[in-house]
Amino acid sequence: MLKLTSLKEFISKNREDFPFLIEDLQNLLENIVSASKALQADISKAGLLNHVLGAQGKQNIQGEAQQKLDLIADNLFKNAFEQGGFVCGIASEENDDFVAFESQAAKNANYVVLFDPLDGSSNIDVNVPIGTIFSIYRRITNVGAKAELKDMLQPGSKQVVAGYVLFGSSTLLVFTTGNGVHGFTLDTARGEFYLSHPHLKMPQNGRLYSVNEGNRNDFNPQLRTYLAYCQSDQNQTGKPYSGRYIGSLVADFHRNLLKGGIYIYPAVSSAPKGRLRLLYECNPLAFIAEQAGGLATDGNQQILDIEPTELHQRAALYIGSKEMVEKAMGLN
Ligand code: AHM
Ligand code: MG
């Protein structure tokens, strides 16, 4: 049988690629792995368990209906980071405010984690891939104190780790520490993630575009022009691109990362600043895209350069293959 490289082996073999203490990275990823495995188990039997499937009956601060699994996922990750002792505070889509952990170990910890516990959760009931997205920063405040809002409001360029877990036909952990992008598949029987996608590179161009065309009447003229180009035979392939939109950002992004493509969520009247959240959706995927040779912008500037002012700040997002994003921006 093929000798597989486990996540732990991979990290210790490549220790020089990580810009911080190897033990810190191992521990942070261990927290993510343990929460992901528990979440994968819950997701896989969602249809069988009443307490897992369906709406929670509440809305989050952004006015979106929370699914039971949103909250299960949120608690799993929150608890994993709190108990892990390497994180001083977190922010997530499901918490109105950031959470500063109270223990002395947490106050002494060096990192904050921002995450979308379950992205695409409106797809749970129909068995479509969903995922967790995370972003890790070094704290700005002094070690020994409680985490503050300014620890959370850092531009994406300061991320030290970003990644996602995609719960699809298999469960995949993809992450970057600023030295390339690697993917690991969960072997559910052994309960371990093994290296399956080393050195992921996004094709420079592609023929897949992902956008919610239901919003077409709201699209700006430049985006309409770009979509007309995608749908014409005037592009580099000589035939229309394929439209692919799952409605799960992680899954749409992952497909485009592997095959080449662009994902677009512009500002629209129902979401005048864009629908996606800068800190725990756009930033981590932008870091991964750039590390894989792709590009991410909000239409005006690189996503990673945006200075955040709010925890749940929205942004427009154009992300994917470099030449496609440049074309959508009218740059080539
Ligand atoms: P969520 O984090 O509440 O699931 O919202 C984010 C999701 C993305 O996964 C997806 O791309 C987008 O919202 C879909 O929005 P729409 O239904 O407007 O196309
Ligand atoms: Mg989301």
Q: How far is the CA of 316 from the centre of ligand 2 (A)?
A: 13
Cβ 174 vs Cβ 43: under 8 Å: no
Mark whether 15 and 131 lie in a shared domain: yes
Neighbours of 187 (CB within 10 A): 15
Mark whether 149 and 253 lie in a shared domain: no
Q: Which two three-digit tokens encode residue 245?
A: 């939109």
Q: Is the per-residue pLDDT at 1 higher than 70? A: no
CATH of the domain at 289: 3.40.190.80
* Ligand 1 binding pocket, CB closer than 6 Å: 64, 93, 116, 119-122, 212, 247-249, 275
Atom of ligand 1 at shortest range from CA of 64: 3
Mark whether 212 and 180 lie in a shared domain: no
Count of the separate structural domains present in the chain = 2
Instruction: Give the residue whose CA is nearest to atom 18 of ligand 1.
Output: 212
Q: Which two three-digit tokens encode residue 261?
A: 């493509």
Tell me which of 169, 197, 225 is where a domain ends.
197
Instruction: Give the residue whose CA is nearest to atom 2 of ligand 1.
Output: 119
Q: Is the per-residue pLDDT at 63 higher than 60? A: yes
Q: Is the per-residue pLDDT at 50 higher than 70? A: no
Cβ 183 vs Cβ 200: under 8 Å: yes
Cβ 245 vs Cβ 270: under 8 Å: no
Mark whether 170 and 304 lie in a shared domain: no
Q: How far apart are CA 116 and CA 158, in angstroms?
A: 18
Q: How far is the CA of 24 from the centre of ligand 1 (A)?
A: 32
Atom of ligand 1 at shortest range from CA of 62: 3
Q: For residue 51, what pLDDT band results from cuts at 50, 70 and 90?
A: low
Q: How far is the CA of 130 from the centre of ligand 1 (A)?
A: 10
Q: Residues near 149 by Cβ (< 8 Å), separated by ≥ 6?
A: 98, 311
- Model's pTM, two decimal places? 0.95
Instruction: Tell me which H or E stretch contains 29.
Output: helix 22-44
Return mean pLDDT, the chain.
Answer: 93
Containing domain of residue 267, as a range? 208-328
What is residue 246's predicted lDDT score, i.e. its pLDDT?
96
Between helix 249-259 and helix 283-291 the angle, nearest 10°, is 10
Q: Which two three-digit tokens encode residue 105?
A: 């170990």
Instruction: Give the residue whose CA is nearest to atom 15 of ligand 1.
Output: 247
270 within some domain: yes
Mean pLDDT of 84-109: 96
Q: How far apart are CA 76 and CA 165, in angstroms?
A: 14
Residue 146 has phi, psi (to 5 degrees) of: -75, 150
**Of the candidates 319, 218, 224, 311, the residue with the CA atom closest to the CA atom of residue 271:** 218
Mean pLDDT of 4-17: 89
